[in-house]
Amino acid sequence: MLVFSKARLVFLSVPKTGTTAYESALAPLADIHVANPPELKHAPVYRYNRFFRPMIDKFISDEMEILAVVREPISWLGSWYRFRQRPFMQGKPNATHGISFDSFVEAYCKGKRPGFANVGSQAKFLEPAGNGTCATKLFRYEDQPALRAWLEARLEVSIETGRENVSPTMELTLSPEIEAKLRRKCAEEFALWEGIPRA
């Protein structure tokens, strides 16, 4: 998570949406950079509202823009699946070695997800808090040029990012039956992403 006081901007770090690369590029410009632990680096809206917002409201501004990036749900799950295929994950409970992408997504659709498929939810991450605190500016992960241009204009800087925290490359396909099940069981994930206007 990054906080820019002059720009009145909070950049939430939704997992698997490329925000680590932006954090590396923009951390030197940020007034607050939360890098660890992961529970705070990737603070969802409700955690931001409870722990960070009162401090920011008091000492910076109570009119902060809250920015977040959302990835197309199947692509997002694919990134998690590939991320958990890294060699050092072999033998760990959350690894996806020996599990097909169909099986991973089917497990994600269950009410009680097994550890390897328990990767959270973008919709839950960005669910507005009871007091109305919410992400006020959303970009699709797939619209990187628009996100970069918006950030450059808002922060008045030129941004160069590298690739970081990259999952192993592999071709993934989802069967029509499992995709239909995912769309039915996790409709809010697709509604969130589809509701973000294209740049």
Cβ(56)–Cβ(66) below 8 Å: no
48 inside domain? yes
Token pair recorded at residue 198: 């294209």
134 inside domain? yes
Q: For position 42, which CATH number holds?
A: 3.40.50
Scanning the structure block, which residue is given the tokens 């977040």? Answer: 68
CA distances from 70 to 89, 167, 187 (A): 26, 17, 15
43 inside domain? yes
199 inside domain? no
104 inside domain? yes
134-156 tens-digit pLDDT: 999 999 999 999 999 999 999 99
Token pair recorded at residue 25: 């590029």
With both helix axes pointing from N to C terminus, report the angle between 73-83 and 187-194 in degrees, rounded to the nearest 10. Answer: 110
Our count of domains for the chain comes to 1
42 inside domain? yes
61-114 tens-digit pLDDT: 999 999 999 999 999 999 999 999 988 888 898 999 999 999 999 999 999 999
Mean pLDDT score, 127-137: 97
Range of 132's domain? 2-194
Scanning the structure block, which residue is given the tokens 């089917």? Answer: 106
User: How far apart (Å, rounded) are the C-alpha atoms in residues 6 and 8?
Assistant: 5
Check whether the bond before 37 is cis (ω within 30° of 0): yes
Q: Which residues are CB-contacts of 62 (< 8 A; sequence separation ≥ 6)?
A: none
Q: What is the pTM of this model?
A: 0.93
Question: Which pLDDT score, from 0 to 100, does residue 166 have?
Answer: 66
